């Protein structure tokens, strides 16, 4: 099948990036990592990374959706800035924001912008300032599935909402069959997986369901999963593993986790043809995002119901959350240096290779200026 071949080709490249990045992060996160971080803090001859005065250990936590991107960035950054050790835990957006507001990390990754109460809490650790949202990573939330004998599958928002709300429970249900007249759908129970931890991916996925299928999805939304039934797993990697190992499974996660030949759902929108989850298709939808944050905060408003041909509707933007003022003196140089790199042209260029979408240039210009002014 065309889709399966695309997924397999994509999986090979994503797997290489993820494995090399994971090895790097594993090494830098170990107790021995600090002892191996020697050498001068200057960028290598073939790199444009500016290490500046960066040194020491930089702790971060948050979005698991961006972890493969962080892994790839860390690999490149630490090869240039050998006096810096970056340990990104990737425990989920909720965990990252909690760690940030408690002063445990230099920055956090979140797939949802800070809420007013979270901004208020951040003022306690950002002396004279507050936490701000810096959009760095964009991309599609893929819906992976494991249905024997089915490689190509198209679903719309209404059907997805009913599946994840345990209202459609079998793969040969009439609603699924009508959307896929050429598929040989088995008499197999649907195993819908959702996140057990608080997650910005959950927040964005359910915002899509609310916007595109308001009559079927009645939940308020947020980082915590609210619908009843289904199975749960920790992190995007846990959901991907659930799909891979369970016949009849379906789950949502960032595209870079849809690897090893995993099939993903094409989403039926108002356009003529169902849309595949690809970086290029997500970019068409994300380009419609608007900055709604105030001051130095660059929170975005996404369009979950694009009508343009080829615009993939289930997208997310991951923010790096950092203090605009009042950052710890010992971590500020490394924080600014690393964030400046990932917002740079070279840093953003790595995203497509890892299954993510670079941010629009007009937004990156604002991000780079804000990073340079962190204090």
Residues 215 and 81: their CA atoms lie apart, in Å, by: 52
Which has more pLDDT, 32 or 49? 49
CA atoms in the 13 A half-sphere facing the CB of 14: 23
Residue (of 100, 45, 64) closest to 328 by Cα position:
100
Could you give the percent of the chain with pLDDT greater than 70? 87
Query: Which pLDDT band holds residue 9 (cuts at 50, 70, 90)?
Result: very low
- Which phi and psi angles does 320 have, rounded to 5°? -95, 125
CA atoms in the 13 A half-sphere facing the CB of 59: 11
Tell me the β-bridge partners of 252.
143
pTM of whole model > 0.85? no
> What is the average pLDDT across 169-184?
98
- In terms of average pLDDT, the best of 17-31, 45-59, 294-308 is 294-308
Model pLDDT, residue 352: 85
Query: Which pLDDT band holds residue 27 (cuts at 50, 70, 90)?
Result: very low
Residue that the structure tokens 């797939």 belong to:
111
CA distances from 213 to 96, 139, 167, 179, 369 (A): 30, 21, 14, 16, 38
CA distances from 5 to 10, 11, 208, 266, 279 (A): 8, 10, 27, 14, 16
Residues 299 and 291: their CA atoms lie apart, in Å, by: 6
Is residue 318 a contact partner of residue 207, using CB atoms and an 8 Å limit? no
Residues 74 and 315: their CA atoms lie apart, in Å, by: 24
Q: What is the per-residue DSSP string for 329-356?
A: TTTHHHHHHHHHHHTSHHHHHHHHHTT-
- In this structure, what token pair is assigned to residue 66? 């961006």
Residue 338, phi-psi category: left (phi > 0), alpha (psi -120 to 50), beta (remainder): alpha
Model pLDDT, residue 362: 87
H/E element, 26: helix 2-28
Q: What is the per-residue DSSP string for 89-129?
A: ----HHHHHHHHHTT--SEEEESSPPPHHHHHHHTTTSTTS
- The per-residue b/e assignment along 173-205, b for 16 or more CB within 10 angstroms, e otherwise, is beebeebbeebebeebebbbbbbbbbbbbbbbb
Per DSSP, which regions of the chain are E strands? 56-62, 84-88, 107-110, 131-146, 154-156, 191-195, 231-233, 249-254, 263-264, 266-268, 290-291, 300-301, 315-323
Residues 135 and 343: their CA atoms lie apart, in Å, by: 9
Residues 129 and 296: their CA atoms lie apart, in Å, by: 11
Tell me the β-bridge partners of 84.
56
Residues 234 and 278: their CA atoms lie apart, in Å, by: 24
Query: Which pLDDT band holds residue 47 (cuts at 50, 70, 90)?
Result: low
Model pLDDT, residue 260: 82
Mean pLDDT computed over every residue of the chain: 88
Q: Which domains does the chain have, with CATH numbers?
A: 2-139+320-372 (3.40.190.10), 140-284 (3.40.190.10)
- In this structure, what token pair is assigned to residue 130? 């507050």
Model pLDDT, residue 257: 92
Residues 82 and 84: their CA atoms lie apart, in Å, by: 5
Query: Which pLDDT band holds residue 163 (cuts at 50, 70, 90)?
Result: very high
Query: Which pLDDT band holds residue 94 (cuts at 50, 70, 90)?
Result: very high
How do residues 242-275 score in pLDDT, each as one tens digit? 999 999 999 999 998 998 889 999 999 989 999 9
Does position 178 have pLDDT exceeding 80, yes or no?
Answer: yes
Question: For residue 208, what are the contacts with CB-CB under 8 A and spacing of at least 6?
Answer: 141, 157, 304, 313, 314
How do residues 313-359 score in pLDDT, each as one tens digit? 999 999 999 999 999 999 999 999 999 999 999 999 999 888 888 99
The Cβ of residue 160 has, within 10 Å, a number of other Cβ atoms equal to: 26
């Amino acid at each position: 099948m065309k889709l399966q071949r695309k997924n397999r080709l994509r999986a090979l490249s994503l797997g290489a990036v993820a494995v090399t990045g994971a090895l790097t992060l594993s090494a830098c996160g170990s107790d021995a990592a600090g002892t191996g971080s020697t050498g001068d803090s200057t960028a290598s001859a073939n790199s444009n990374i500016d290490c500046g005065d960066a040194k020491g250990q930089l702790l971060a936590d948050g979005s698991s959706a961006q972890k493969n991107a962080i892994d790839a960035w860390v690999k490149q950054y630490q090869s240039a800035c050998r006096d810096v050790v970056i340990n990104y835990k990737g425990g989920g957006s909720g965990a990252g924001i909690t760690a940030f507001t408690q002063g445990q990390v230099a920055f956090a990754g979140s797939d949802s912008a800070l809420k007013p109460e979270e901004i208020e809490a951040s003022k306690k650790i950002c002396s004279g300032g507050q936490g701000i949202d810096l959009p760095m990573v964009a991309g599609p939330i893929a819906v992976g599935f494991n249905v024997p004998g089915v490689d190509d599958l198209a679903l719309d928002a209404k059907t997805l909402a009913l599946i994840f709300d345990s209202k459609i429970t079998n793969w040969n249900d009439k609603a699924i069959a009508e959307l896929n007249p050429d598929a040989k759908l088995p008499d197999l129970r649907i195993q819908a997986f959702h996140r057990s931890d608080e997650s910005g991916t959950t927040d964005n996925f359910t915002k899509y369901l609310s916007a595109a299928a308001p009559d079927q999805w009645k939940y308020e939304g947020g980082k915590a999963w609210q619908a009843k039934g289904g199975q749960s797993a920790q992190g995007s990697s846990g959901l991907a593993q659930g799909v891979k190992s369970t016949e009849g499974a379906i789950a949502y996660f960032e595209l870079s986790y849809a690897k090893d030949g995993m099939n993903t759902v094409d989403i039926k929108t108002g356009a003529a043809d169902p849309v595949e989850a690809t970086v290029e298709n997500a970019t068409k939808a994300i380009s419609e995002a608007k900055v709604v944050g105030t001051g130095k905060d660059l929170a975005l408003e996404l369009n979950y119901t694009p009508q343009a041909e080829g615009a993939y509707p289930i997208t997310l933007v991951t923010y790096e959350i950092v203090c605009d003022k009042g950052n710890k003196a010992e971590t500020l140089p490394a924080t600014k240096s690393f964030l400046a790199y990932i917002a740079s042209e070279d840093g953003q260029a790595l995203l497509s290779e890892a299954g993510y979408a670079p941010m629009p240039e007009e937004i990156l210009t604002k991000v780079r200026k804000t990073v340079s002014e962190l204090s």
